[in-house]
């Protein structure tokens, strides 16, 4: 394996992101944009991936991570604040946002929130992507998300060693907790989420995270 092949094998997402960054310049020099498609050397090709988008690798293919709506983003932030305060007082691991990439089997995924225990970080935080799965993954869904794809993603998380997945649905004000192999428990807005196995003594009031401006 030569140096280029080794680089691609070690970090395919970084290589693909770099390609996405330079392709628009190539297109600009050789063609023109028309109606969302690219004309290049007399041929019409699909519009390129926007380099500003976050890219995941799913089943060996590039997949754009859709940006959340305002309600989903706000809900994720309120969960992050609660978890962040907890972790400041209980230094058992670290919390990561939606731009952190983890290895989920053969995929590379970017959960909306992730918790990683100190045990997995004993050699320090990876500079780029993590070659392991987080202990906890939080996914905040939007109304446009395809439920079948969401469930497939959750199953892959659990198969890769994620201990819990929280599926947060702001539209219905519920959180479903998934644990291996694919057990689930759904909490409603009046409930409090407890996660003793991963976050001892942590309490998350659903009423607080699903609150709306008055």
Q: What is the pLDDT of residues 170-184, one digit of tens each?
A: 999 999 999 999 999
- pLDDT recorded at residue 10: 59
Domain boundaries, the chain: 3-52, 67-209
Mean pLDDT of 41-56: 55
Percent of the chain with pLDDT over 90: 63
Q: How far apart are CA 165 and CA 169, in angstroms?
A: 13
Percent of the chain with pLDDT over 70: 75
Query: Band of the pLDDT at 86, cuts 50, 70, 90?
Result: very high
Decide: helix, strand or coil at residue 213. coil
199 or 6, greater pLDDT: 199
Alpha-carbon distances of 104 from 52, 129, 156, rounded to whole Å: 23, 11, 7
- Least confident piece of the model among 4-8, 69-73, 88-92: 4-8
pLDDT of residue 134 exceeding 80, the answer is yes
Q: For 126, how many CA atoms within 13 A lie in the half-sphere containing its CB?
A: 15
- Least confident piece of the model among 51-55, 109-113, 116-120, 183-187: 51-55
Output the average pLDDT for the chain: 83
Mean pLDDT of 32-43: 39
In the beta sheet, which residues pair with residue 64? 55
Mean pLDDT of 52-59: 76
Within 8 A by CB and 6+ apart from 105, the residues are: 156, 159, 160
- Least confident piece of the model among 45-49, 153-157, 175-179, 180-184: 45-49
Pseudo-torsion of CA 143, 147, 149, 150, nearest 10°?
Answer: 80
pLDDT of residue 196 exceeding 50, the answer is yes
The count of residues in the chain is 214
Could you tell me which CATH class the domain 67-209 is placed in? alpha beta
Mean pLDDT of 146-169: 96
């Amino acid at each position: 394996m030569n140096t280029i092949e080794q680089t691609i094998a070690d970090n395919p997402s970084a290589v693909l992101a770099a390609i996405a960054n330079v392709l628009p310049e190539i297109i600009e020099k050789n063609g023109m944009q028309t109606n969302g498609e690219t004309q290049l050397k007399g041929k019409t090709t699909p519009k390129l991936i926007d380099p500003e988008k976050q890219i995941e690798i799913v089943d060996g293919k590039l997949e754009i991570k859709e940006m959340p709506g305002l309600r989903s983003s706000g809900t994720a932030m309120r969960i992050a604040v609660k978890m962040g305060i907890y972790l400041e007082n209980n230094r058992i691991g670290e919390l990561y946002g939606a731009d952190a990439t983890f290895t989920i089997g053969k995929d590379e995924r970017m959960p909306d929130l992730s918790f990683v225990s100190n045990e997995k970080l004993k050699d320090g935080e990876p500079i780029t992507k993590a070659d392991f799965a987080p202990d906890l993954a939080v996914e905040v869904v939007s109304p446009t998300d395809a439920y079948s794809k969401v469930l497939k993603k959750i199953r892959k998380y659990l198969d890769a060693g994620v201990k819990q997945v929280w599926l947060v649905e702001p539209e219905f004000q519920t959180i479903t907790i998934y644990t291996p192999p694919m057990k689930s428990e759904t909490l409603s807005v009046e409930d409090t989420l407890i996660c003793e196995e991963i976050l001892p003594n942590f309490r998350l009031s659903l009423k607080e995270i699903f609150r709306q401006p008055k």
